[in-house]
Amino acid sequence: MVLIWSGAGGLVAMIWFVSILTGDRLTDAVLGPRASPRVHNLAVEWLAAALTLVLALALRTRRSVGVDPETGAEVVARPNHSLFWVPVNVWPAVFFALGVGAYYWTPAPAPALFEVTPPAADEARRAAAEKALPAGWYVRVEAYCKEGVHAPRYSLELVPDADPVRDYAFQAGGIKVVVLKRQVEMLRGATLDFGKRDGREKFEISNPNFEGERLEKWRRDLELERPPDPK
């Protein structure tokens, strides 16, 4: 992409880039991890609007004063600052409008597939912070059955992103969760919890679809799933 600017107009592009990098983190810091993607997009654009307004006000005070040699009158010259031929002092309104548009045009998040309890969400956030994962991480949940084992098992992993082709992503308990699209129905209505079990703290999933006769409906699919590689 070619940038066309004059004067300090190039700073507008830099401000927008910085807002994209920092807007998500500021939103999480102020509103917490429950903020929706719509709010994140709004915050990025409005942060750019606020910073660009500061720039426009600062540039407004900068001027050069001279004297017309013919009339002797004082002449005030203001440099032209623009990006893509749009004056810097107009860009705050542009970013403000983009923020409103991003808020209303961003698709609503997918419905939560299952419940994530507060202890489970808190432990996931702690683990993500410990691993220094970038903003936007997910808890990946997959179900499978090992050969010769009656009860289904689950693998849980913190991942930086999701695959829109094979994954179903949603928010629950204030965190992002991703599952395989082919496992959506078998995991619907489950609960992800964290607590002390058998003398140690661990995640635990309760799933009504894997109880009694309902388990037989999914057993063949679970046996075809490859168990996660040991780490």
Per residue in 182-207, pLDDT tens?
999 999 999 999 998 878 899 999 99
CATH of the domain at 133: 2.60.300.12
83 and 179 belong to one structural domain: no
125 and 219 belong to one structural domain: yes
101 and 16 belong to one structural domain: yes
Query: How would residue 222 be classed by pLDDT, with cut points 50, 70 and 90?
Result: confident
Q: Last residue of a domain, which of 105, 138, 172? A: 105
Determine the angle formed by the axes of helices 37-60 and 10-31, rounding to 10 degrees. 130
**Number of domains, the chain:** 2
88 and 168 belong to one structural domain: no
Q: Which residues of 176-199 are buried (b: 16+ CB within 10 A; e: fewer)?
A: bbbbbeebeebbeebbbbbeeeee
71 vs 99, residue with greater confidence = 99
120 and 219 belong to one structural domain: yes
73 vs 143, residue with greater confidence = 143
Position 14 in a domain: yes
137 vs 150, residue with greater confidence = 137
143 and 161 belong to one structural domain: yes
Specify the pLDDT at position 231. Answer: 45
Across the range 4-10, mean pLDDT stands at 85
Position 231 in a domain: no
CA distance 22 to 27: 9
120 and 207 belong to one structural domain: yes
Selection from 152, 38, 43, 49 nearest residue 95 by Cα: 49
Across the range 120-126, mean pLDDT stands at 94
Could you tell me the pTM of the whole model? 0.57
Position 230 in a domain: no
Q: What is the pLDDT of residues 91-111, one digit of tens each?
A: 999 999 999 998 888 776 677
Instruction: Give the range of the structural domain holding residue 211, as residue numbers without chain letter.
Output: 115-224
CA distance 70 to 66: 12
49 and 138 belong to one structural domain: no
Position 39 in a domain: yes
Query: How would residue 230 be classed by pLDDT, with cut points 50, 70 and 90?
Result: very low
125 and 220 belong to one structural domain: yes
Q: Last residue of a domain, which of 55, 79, 105? A: 105
CB 91 within 8 A of CB 9: no
201 and 128 belong to one structural domain: yes
CA distance 61 to 138: 47
Q: Last residue of a domain, which of 105, 137, 156? A: 105
Q: What is the pLDDT of residues 138-180, one digit of tens each?
A: 999 999 887 767 788 999 999 999 998 999 999 898 899 999 9
pLDDT at 71 over 90: no
217 and 124 belong to one structural domain: yes
